[in-house]
Structure 1
């Protein structure tokens, strides 16, 4: 009997060990790990009654040693306009551009296998027609695709924002007085992943600039240009996010499960838990802000849904990546000193990064009234013209 019990225990242990091994390898090799890039987009036709947008995107299979299929794909378009959309129509077409693809005249998508580690391109065309398209501002293209593989059928969406309205340089001309400087909020088109911060400065700022000026960019627009925004539908809140989010202030971007899960995905569940525990202990002795110190810079910079202008009000926007590098690039290519800032209507000015020659005190004084605005002004760039004698440069006696 003892031998039988021992054999049974060994068998149960072996089964549990096998199950544990299966679970470990499953978690290490998540199936259906495939992404569709945002791609490169161009407006090939830009006529008063007809726009044609063409995007070149790619599927990439990241699943190890396993192929993933794309049995279904479709696109839909949401238009944002300054006027009614009545009478305006959109049509979409998706065509395979990978080797050996059969482009069908009827638009039918034949199920496709994406090989391991391969990039398979597709072309998405959006045609917009109407009597007058001049009031259109943005095309929000949503590409819905199904992956089929080890995880079964998994729905996915790639969101692409394409600007349709481009303001002229002359639309930004109203300088405003500030402490030790004059400031010029500069209007741009709606910034997207298709844009580059340096190119935006060259296009919209340089016609107004002169030597000694300083250009500042909002942190959220910079993050958007880097593609650092996520739709809540792509976020799977875990146990920790669902429970801790209730303990943040209602106005915090971490007070929702998806907002907090975004931070967890960035820095890890362990760091977030330790930061929360440390912050709670610090509050008991009257010290605030410890959570954000321990959780890292991104904890303060995440903007949850409604935190930015449409259509990004539907997304969670992260903080920018390598902001100092962007500032240095702007200075190298334009000659202007530069800073990336987070400013709000509560007279809070946070400087994420700046070129080495800038006085942070001057930046804060110039931006304290939030000249860029927090609504739909669409002025993500501010040009600062320091008045004499400071000229915005940091002296050897000034502190950052």
Structure 2
């Protein structure tokens, strides 16, 4: 079956003079209790070839690790309610801009680090600099996803944390599929590699290859994909 890009996305991209395909892999809705090994075996193992890179979104890894929480299960503390008021909301997601996601940032990263990140950010914003909050708070805070209307149910009403052991997950999946693997946090304004079997140069190249978010942000139901040189 020929590879198809998601709507509004390009199947191919050229990076440093090399052409790559970004092949989305469609799956059913992944739920807590599902096993990553089973999902990879069912939807990815037969599609990869030698030299490919399989990339998996951090969200489905975290969901299968039991790191997703429905909004009505979360009781934010007063500090979370206060801090969330000062988070800049963006078009691609609410980030820590609601009490429920900020509550998990405090739990995951620690109150002292979040307060320090908020204090530094408040000062540097006065001078027109942005992004210091997440630079200080780190990947665990950056990887927290809040509910958005376009997300596939039931996760349109859930907070999903970043995955645990992303490097270990990538290594385990590589044993299943035989090619390099990356666990990625990609959105419509960029992204990060949370764990992989690639070296640092390979990770930087992968971020560039995925910079336009070929898996999309909404109902595409393509939580993983294949990078393949043309």
Alignment-derived partner of residue 70 in structure 2: 231
Alignment-derived partner of residue 257 in structure 1: 99
- Give the length in aligned residue pairs: 216
Cα separation, 1, equivalents of 2:67 and 2:206: 25
> For the Cα contact (< 8 Å) 2:134–2:141, is it kept in 1?
yes
Cα separation, 2, equivalents of 1:271 and 1:191: 32
Residue 354 of structure 1 and its aligned partner are, at CA, apart by 1.4
> For the Cα contact (< 8 Å) 1:178–1:365, is it kept in 2?
no
- More RCO (CA 8 Å, sep 6+): 2
Q: Report which of the two has the higher share of helix.
A: 2
Q: Report which of the two has the higher share of strand.
A: 1
Cα separation, 2, equivalents of 1:253 and 1:321: 19
Q: 1:317 aligns with which of 157, 160, 165?
A: 160
Alignment-derived partner of residue 245 in structure 1: 84
Alignment-derived partner of residue 229 in structure 2: 386
Alignment-derived partner of residue 8 in structure 2: none
Alpha-carbon displacement from aligned partner over 1:42-84 (angstroms, at most 9, x marks no partner): xxxxxxxxxxxxxxxxxxxxxxxxxxxxxxxxxxxxxxxxxxx
How do 1:1-400 residues align onto structure 2 when only pairs under 5 Å count?
A: 173-174=3-4, 176-179=11-14, 180-251=19-90, 252-306=94-148, 308-346=151-189, 348-357=190-199, 359-387=202-230
Residue 173 of structure 1 and its aligned partner are, at CA, apart by 4.1
Residue 223 of structure 1 and its aligned partner are, at CA, apart by 1.1
Over 3 Å counting, the alpha-carbon distance change for 1:267 and 1:365 in structure 2 is: closer
TM value normalised by structure 1: 0.50
Residue 286 of structure 1 and its aligned partner are, at CA, apart by 4.1
> For the Cα contact (< 8 Å) 2:22–2:225, is it kept in 1?
yes
Residue 317 of structure 1 and its aligned partner are, at CA, apart by 0.9
Q: Which runs of no fewer than 5 residues in structure 2 stay unpaired? A: 6-10
Over 3 Å counting, the alpha-carbon distance change for 1:365 and 1:261 in structure 2 is: closer
Cα separation, 1, equivalents of 2:53 and 2:122: 40
Alpha-carbon displacement from aligned partner over 1:372-392 (angstroms, at most 9, x marks no partner): 1212110111011123xxxxx
Cα separation, 2, equivalents of 1:311 and 1:290: 32
Cα separation, 2, equivalents of 1:361 and 1:320: 20
Cα separation, 2, equivalents of 1:296 and 1:371: 24
Residue 329 of structure 1 and its aligned partner are, at CA, apart by 0.9
Runs (4+) of structure 1 exceeding 6 A deviation are: none
Alignment-derived partner of residue 137 in structure 1: none
Q: Which runs of no fewer than 5 residues in structure 1 stay unpaired? A: 1-169, 388-400
Q: Secondary structure at the match of 1:359?
A: helix
